[in-house]
Structure 1
């Protein structure tokens, strides 16, 4: 990552943001500076600014972060969204079946694609007019399944209120280590994501309450793995992953939690677990004030379905 800090002087006073950046970073063209701003790599006085024409004033501080890969042909990730990934498109609501490896929202590395620009591109290719796409909630980068996007701010507020009131019901399926024989629930306090490790911790105080109910769908005693249904009551970061790890049944393929609780599996199963096998299987919500609740289900990705096929055959 390239990082630059610019203090706006008399010389830069009143310039467009992209012009001030290109003037201050040797070898960076105005066109590239605008691309960096458009993709969220510029901060004025610590606030992200995506408007290249914004004028800057003396004393402003501009921080710029960008990945050189942005300007290398063919170097962007090959992830994409396809028309069949759209599961629901009504009442100013879009639900997609998010693939593994795709971040829900922008990271600080603009060379890494995320949901909104890919969905915007897909909708344009499908002939839809430009929309003010708003991410309603998040899934971890390697979690697959149903993800909700609003097409305007009013619908975003309407759906966010349902999340806040816990009236939206989400169901996840997870393939986990160990044989689970009966339903169970995990309730605990969770920390925020730790900046030095990227992990969430179970804490006794100072965290936020969390609760998830788990039910066994199918156990595979010969493989010592289980398929479980996960119903989160709260919606904390990494909640299901941490709760399953806390219960001694971390998710297969999760590279962050449960390192000491894994055992040997046939090679073909390990190859299918190229990412954490956690899938947002369904979501139930009210699309408008006067409409009945709607439930949308997301088919398993091939990685998840392939693991189950192999497990059933062994």
Structure 2
């Protein structure tokens, strides 16, 4: 674990043994893989200090020394803060994980006209704590899907987490209730997904679509006759991916009328139950389970902590 401590607007990092001999340039470009523009900003604005002095970006670091990063300056809000009661699953100076309720957009489709999305609520939450920072969304969920969503609280954390998501180093595990019984208990669905030209919001399996890979494993079937409960985790993050893949196999999600599910409940039975990743600065393993905020009758047989 890397030893870090916030000091005002600065983050103090005790240089770990694995960074010994690296330069700050190596750190930004190779370890954190920060964008060139952000790296240039840290360098040109003297936002990195070593033992309290301006750092030389090409000089080797020594383990045990104190590296300071200017991470926590005030930012003008780019999103309209709007109050909404939130279920916070994890928070520190760098990341925020929220259990999104169903029937709420992750972000506004039109920021000028809409302000009732999760990111608006997250902005209000941080502002109410005296944190003038632009919260950065790392991934999203469909409006009617509930569960864990990861946000970054400053630009460097956002850049690192974006890269981790691209490299599939952030694992998102969902639970879903499907119509019918699967032919096999576990497997991988590797089918490209593209837009449905006959429907504005639908997606479909299409040879010309983008690569989409979903792994799944059946859970206990509970008391609901004709349902199969699965946990699923993604290698890609295509729009409606889980919904499209299982519908294509003939097992649409319960409640997902857009893809052939029966309207037994008022939304698709899909919940982002678990989020896990290595913290970008402390290197701790972060695991969050998101409790269900609705659908107790559908998912009552599922032990979320065992997912």
Q: TM above 0.5, one fold? A: yes
Give yes or no for contact 1:192–1:237 (8 Å, CA) kept in 2: no
Alignment of 1:105-116 (within 5 A): 105-108=107-110, 110-111=113-114, 113-116=116-119
CA distances 1:40-72 after superposition (whole Å, capped 9, x unpaired): xxxxxxxxxx99xxxxxxxxxxxxxxxxxxxxx
RMSD: 2.6
> Do the aligned partners of 1:171 and 1:282 also contact (CA within 8 Å) in 2?
yes
What is the distance in 2 between the residues matched to 1:296 and 1:113? Answer: 25
Q: In structure 2, which of residues 271, 283, 305 is the aligned counterpart of residue 279 of structure 1?
A: 271
* Corresponding residue SS for 1:302: coil
Are the counterparts in 2 of residues 132 and 151 from structure 1 also a CA contact under 8 Å?
yes
In structure 2, how many angstroms separate the alpha carbons of the residues matched to 1:99 and 1:195?
Answer: 30
Any conservation in 2 of the 1:91–1:288 contact (CA below 8 Å)? no
1:308 corresponds to which residue? 299
Q: TM-score, normalised by structure 2?
A: 0.66
Q: CA deviation digits over 1:185-228, x for unaligned, max 9?
A: 21111114759420111112x21111111111111476101111
Query: Displacement of 1:275 after TM fit?
Result: 1.1
Any conservation in 1 of the 2:108–2:114 contact (CA below 8 Å)?
Answer: no
Match of 2:235 among 217, 233, 236: 233
2:99 match: 97
Cross-structure match for 1:123: 126
User: Post-superposition shift, 1:277?
Assistant: 1.1
Are the aligned partners of 1:186 and 1:247 in contact in 2 as well (CA < 8 Å)? no
Q: Which residue of 2 aligns with 1:132?
A: 134
| SS class of match (2:212) | strand
Shift of 1:234: 1.4
Would the aligned equivalents of 1:92 and 1:150 in 2 still touch at CA under 8 Å? yes
1:298 pairs with 2:280: no
Gaps of 5+ in 2: 1-76, 303-307
Equivalent position of 1:35 in the other structure: none
CA–CA distance in structure 2, aligned partners of residues 212 and 147 of structure 1:
18
Decide which moves more: 216-225 or 98-107: 216-225
Cα deviation digits, residues 150-202 of structure 1 (max 9, x gap) = 11121111000001111111100001111235113211111147594201111
Q: Is the 8 A contact 2:186 2:218 kept in 1?
A: yes
Measure, in 2, the Cα distance between the counterparts of 1:172 and 1:279. 5
SS in 2 for 1:120: helix
What is the Cα deviation at residue 302 of structure 1? 2.3
Residue 112 of structure 1, CA deviation: 5.9
Name the residue aligned to 1:72.
none
CA distance in 1, matches of 2:224, 2:156: 51
1:104 alignment partner, SS class:
coil
Distance in 2 of aligned mates of 1:154 and 1:222: 46
Q: Of 200, 208, 227, which aligns to 2:203?
A: 200
- Shift of residue 233, structure 1, vs aligned partner: 1.6
Matches within 5 A, 1:38-117: 81-83=84-86, 85-108=87-110, 110-111=113-114, 113-117=116-120
Unaligned runs of 5+ in 1: 1-49, 52-78, 264-269
Change (3 A) 1:157 1:306: same
Judged with a 3 Å threshold, the aligned counterparts in structure 2 of structure 1 residues 80 and 99 are, in CA distance, closer, same or farther, namely farther
Q: TM-score normalised to the size of structure 1?
A: 0.64
Mapped contact 1:146–1:281 kept (Cα < 8 A): yes
2:168 equivalent in structure 1: 166
> Equivalents in 1 of 2:140, 2:225: separation in Å?
32
